[in-house]
Amino acid sequence: MNPAMLAALLSLVLFLGMLGCLELGRRLGRRRMEADPEGVKSGTGPVDSAIFALLGLLIAFTYSSASTRFEVRRQLIVQEANNIGTAYLRLDLVPPAPRAELQQLFREYVDSRLATYARLDDIDAARAEYDRSVEMQGRIWSLAIEAARSVQSPAPMQLLVPSLNDMFDIANSRRAAMMMHQPPIIFGMLIAVALCGAVLAGHSLSTGRARSWIHIAAFGAVTAVTLYVILDLEFPRYGLIRIDEMDQLLVNVRASFG
């Protein structure tokens, strides 16, 4: 399932689940009030505080982690654009004949890198494009090494080869960053604690004769929207929060190649 659809589905399920748990808590509270009017609120404060503190901690932890990974992915795009641009400039160190071929391979390589992330809606196509870029890395490396060895000066080996290493390494780093996410059990725990908190909140709201719909709806909606934002940050190529605009840096690098 598309991560954006999964995030929306989980958020909706959490919202509806919290409404149900709030109602369950209210009914349990009303039942206890009828059995023990004086003790319905006795000793519940510390338990409520502990559960809601844990919920707040989980939300803060998951949001902070997702936000950090989002920023790392942005920085890796900047780094890849810089590395490719530097490596391309250092092609001037090799003779004209292999240089022209390497420059063409660079153009195709950047096009492939852009296509890899543009096709993520079709994961098979994205993987095929990534494999193609890896194959092109091998071709660039072989040709660059051959061209560097044909030059009497050590400059190509000292300058061009390390820049190619950096260019290839950052592609792997970006792939690894895309695969790094919060363990699912953390989100499961967050949802479980939120539902438990909803039961306790419903129990606290049971002292009123009528339901406080504004509190019920607000608590459920705010928690569900927060979960959606966190999940959206985890998958910034699919939902409302995106890093696609950062790809313009690679587009600009590609344009500079002519």
Alpha-carbon distance 175 to 81, whole Å?
Answer: 15
Rg (CA), the chain: 27
Q: How far apart are CA 148 and CA 83, in angstroms?
A: 19
In one letter, which amino acid is 143? Answer: L
Reported confidence tier of residue 42, pLDDT bands at 50, 70, 90: low
191's tokens: 């949802």
Per-residue pLDDT at 104:
95
What percentage of the chain's residues is helix, strand, coil (to nearest 5)? 85, 0, 15
**Hey, CA dihedral for 144, 145, 146, 148, is it positive or negative?**
positive
Give the C-alpha separation, 21 to 10, whole Å: 16
Is 32 a residue whose pLDDT tops 90?
no
For residue 55, what are its two tokens? 């919920």
pTM of the model: 0.86
Residue 43's region, left for phi above 0, alpha for psi from -120 to 50, else beta, is left
Distance, in Å, from the CA atom of 168 to the CA atom of 127, rounded to the nearest integer, reads 16
Contacts for 28 with CB less than 8 Å, ≥ 6 apart: 199, 202, 203, 206
What pLDDT score was predicted for residue 41? 58
Residue with tokens 């950052």, as numbered in its chain: 170
More confident residue, 12 or 153: 12
Burial bucket for residue 48 (CB in 10 Å: 0-12, 13-18, 19+) = middle
Residue 206 binned pLDDT confidence (cut-offs 50, 70, 90): confident
Angle 181-184-190 from CA coordinates, rounded to 5°:
110
